[in-house]
């Protein structure tokens, strides 16, 4: 097998797979040869059996309307909808330390949904099913990249190379790291990042509640961190399920992870003020330490970072993979335009165009999320009072609120 490619994408999570899919869909005349390399086993069958709480993937993403439109443009959305999605048309946010609350409604911006909650397993499975229908993408499953050699300049006679776990070597004009927040490739390429710990961790799991979720995404800001209940649905069941993301200080997180299920359900019900009645069941819990990371540069000759490999943020605004998909769309457009002009794909001028398009937007969202997190840290009484008043005033400012909704939905970018 000839292992020479135009592009090698490392990491077949949502971002890497979406990039392969977008590139293979968008180039019409001179198809690109793409290698998609993944350390884990790639699975394109979706074992959804609608049996109950443990049938869901605890890792879910709130996909914005902007991400949905991008998926529609690469003929993917129908694969996702054919599996399992939960649309939500309202979002309710409130302050545990007072009366402050904000409600967002899709109808206020003449939309039918604010977004969709989709299990990560469903998105990745759908992407791999779609990729199977496209030509030009070779998949390397269970092949962790062990070494990277980048050519100094972009030239057809001097390609960059990767070593796979089984000892094979692969060459490409352009290597793209979509290998997640800890990105081994970013380290191998020597691209530095700014990083700090939020000193919080997030528990994710699925819970059953006695009352329905009302197609609403719920978020309560507590003194230890935000707690989100995201609506899920099973097609053949009248049970009520939500995916939760419970971000807390590391100490509180460790205590909650050590509880048995009964204790956990009690603690979670109290923390959520029983908004959806009693919480009656819980799936296996997983905990993730939360860090903010941002690469100083996303690109160097013959190499680019995309999505979490370039930036990772707190999940409180549900924006992580939505920013990543906006990167994917921008990078794909830049590469396709360069390819059609006959440019070398690793050309630094070409790649910098992508960095210019995305860095400011990512930075702005990171700053907004950081600001929100700080606003809800434990504060003295007068500040808490001002915060609650500010939330209620914001709730009544329909023009400003609609601007914020549209930005969060990814439809003003
Ligand atoms: C608790 C929590 C809740 C979240 N909720 C939301 C949300 O509601 N909305 C939202 O938009 N975002 C959310 N996010 C963020 C979102 O999950 C991430 O942005 C997204 O998963 C990143 O996707 P990715 O494809 O960039 O990376 P990943 O999903 O990390 O995929 C990277 C892939 O690269 C592979 N890989 C790694 N190293 C190698 C190697 N050496 N060789 C080959 N392959 C390799 C890995 O196996 C993996 O499959 C949340 C994050 C957390 C932690």
Number of domains in the chain: 1
The predicted structure's pLDDT at residue 80: 94
352-363 burial: b if 16+ Cβ within 10 Å, else e: bbbbebbbeebe
Handedness of CA 13, 14, 16, 18 (dihedral sign): positive
**Residue owning the nearest CA to atom 38 of ligand 1:** 179
Domain assignment of residue 39, yes or no:
yes
Domain assignment of residue 250, yes or no:
yes
Interval between CA 159 and ligand 1 midpoint (Å): 28
Full domain range(s) for residue 223: 4-43+51-408
Domain assignment of residue 212, yes or no:
yes
Tell me how far apart the alpha carbons of residues 265 and 274 are, in angstroms, rounded to a whole number: 11
247-261 burial: b if 16+ Cβ within 10 Å, else e: bbeeebbeebeeeee
**Residue owning the nearest CA to atom 29 of ligand 1:** 13
Residue-level pLDDT, tens digit, the chain, 413 residues: 679 999 999 999 999 999 999 999 999 888 999 999 999 998 776 666 666 788 889 899 999 999 999 999 999 999 999 888 999 999 998 987 777 778 889 998 888 999 999 999 999 999 999 999 999 999 999 999 999 999 987 777 779 999 999 999 999 999 999 999 999 999 999 999 999 888 899 999 999 999 999 999 999 998 889 999 999 987 667 889 999 999 999 999 999 999 999 999 999 999 999 999 999 999 999 999 999 999 999 999 999 999 999 999 999 888 999 999 999 999 999 999 999 999 999 999 999 999 999 999 999 988 888 877 777 777 666 667 767 777 777 667 777 777 777 878 877 75
The predicted structure's pLDDT at residue 48: 65
Domain assignment of residue 246, yes or no:
yes
Contact between 323 and 61 (Cβ < 8 Å): no
Domain assignment of residue 72, yes or no:
yes
The predicted structure's pLDDT at residue 11: 98
The predicted structure's pLDDT at residue 280: 96
Tell me how far apart the alpha carbons of residues 101 and 122 are, in angstroms, rounded to a whole number: 32
Kindly report the CATH number assigned to the domain that includes residue 70: 3.50.50.60
**Residue owning the nearest CA to atom 3 of ligand 1:** 315
Domain assignment of residue 413, yes or no:
no
Q: 362 is written with which tokens?
A: 């990512």
Interval between CA 396 and ligand 1 midpoint (Å): 36
Interval between CA 199 and ligand 1 midpoint (Å): 20
Pocket-forming residues, ligand 1, beta carbon under 6 Å? 10-16, 37-40, 61-62, 144-145, 178-180, 184, 202, 204, 245, 288, 307-308, 315, 318-322, 324
The predicted structure's pLDDT at residue 405: 75
Handedness of CA 236, 322, 66, 387 (dihedral sign): positive
Q: 2 is written with which tokens?
A: 């000839």
Contact between 20 and 131 (Cβ < 8 Å): yes
Q: Which atom of ligand 1 is nearest to the CA of 15?
A: 25
């Amino acid at each position: 097998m000839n292992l020479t490619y135009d592009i090698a994408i490392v990491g077949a999570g949502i971002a890497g797979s979406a990039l392969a899919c977008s590139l293979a869909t968008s180039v019409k005349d001179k198809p690109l040869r793409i290698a998609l390399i993944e350390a884990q086993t790639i699975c394109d069958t979706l074992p959804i059996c609608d049996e109950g709480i443990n049938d869901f993937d605890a890792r879910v993403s709130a996909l914005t309307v902007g991400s949905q439109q991008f998926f529609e443009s690469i003929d993917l959305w129908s694969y996702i909808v054919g599996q399992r999605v939960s649309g939500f048309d309202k979002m309710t946010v409130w302050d545990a330390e007072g009366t402050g609350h904000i409600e967002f409604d899709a109808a206020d911006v003449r939309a039918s949904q604010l977004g969709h909650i989709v299990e990560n397993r469903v998105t990745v499975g759908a992407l791999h099913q779609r990729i199977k229908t496209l030509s030009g993408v070779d998949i390397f499953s269970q092949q962790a990249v062990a070494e990277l050699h980048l050519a100094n300049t972009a030239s057809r006679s001097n390609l960059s190379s990767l070593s796979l776990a089984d000892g094979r070597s692969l060459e490409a004009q352009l290597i793209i790291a979509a290998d997640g927040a800890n990105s081994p490739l970013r380290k191998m390429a020597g691209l530095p990042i700014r990083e700090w710990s939020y000193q919080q961790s997030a528990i994710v799991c699925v819970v059953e509640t006695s009352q329905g979720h009302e197609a609403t995404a719920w978020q309560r800001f507590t003194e230890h961190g935000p707690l989100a209940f995201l609506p899920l649905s099973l097609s053949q069941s009248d049970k009520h399920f939500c995916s939760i993301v419970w971000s807390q200080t590391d100490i509180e997180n460790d205590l909650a992870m050590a509880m048995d299920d009964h204790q956990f359900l009690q603690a979670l019900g109290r923390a959520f003020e029983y908004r959806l009645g009693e919480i009656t069941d819980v799936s296996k819990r997983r905990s993730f330490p939360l860090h903010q990371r941002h690469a100083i540069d996303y690109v160097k000759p013959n190499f680019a970072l995309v999505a979490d490999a370039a930036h990772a943020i707190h999940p409180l605004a549900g924006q992580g993979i939505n920013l990543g998909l906006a990167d994917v769309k921008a990078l794909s457009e830049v590469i396709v335009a360069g390819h059609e002009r006959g440019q070398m794909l690793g050309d630094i001028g070409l790649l910098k165009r992508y960095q210019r398009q995305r860095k400011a937007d990512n930075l702005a969202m990171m700053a907004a999320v950081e600001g929100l997190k700080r606003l809800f840290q434990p504060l003295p009484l007068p500040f808490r009072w001002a915060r609650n008043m500010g939330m209620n005033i914001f709730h009544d400012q329909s023009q400003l609120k609609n601007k914020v909704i549209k930005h969060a939905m990814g439809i003003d970018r």
